[in-house]
Structure 1
Amino acid sequence: MNKVNHDWLDREYVLQFFGRTEGAARKEYLEFLESEMGIDREQELSGGGLIRSQGG
């Protein structure tokens, strides 16, 4: 965090959802990322694409 700057990323905007102070927000954000790493999202994002693209 805060090592690479991107024009499209508003760091403060994102961190405000995780805590009132920067330290607390960073800690909560990192815990959130760690918890999300263990979730398999592939099934949510796959299958049914052809049906959906045909309006079904």
Structure 2
Amino acid sequence: MNSVLGKLYDILTNGDEVAPKSDDNYLAWLSVGIPFPKEELEFLSTGFTGLYRSP
């Protein structure tokens, strides 16, 4: 699990061949899960970078 989180952190902060690196790449992990309604996470359908990409 530690290596999966490490890879995820690396991609989210440094980008990869699909997702470009973000200039404001701060990321914080929470130790406990916090439930969110589905509607609050709709923005993630366009990616983490804030650049809109048509499906």
Rg comparison, structure with higher value:
1
What TM-score do you get using the length of structure 2 for normalisation?
Answer: 0.29
What TM-score do you get using the length of structure 1 for normalisation?
Answer: 0.29
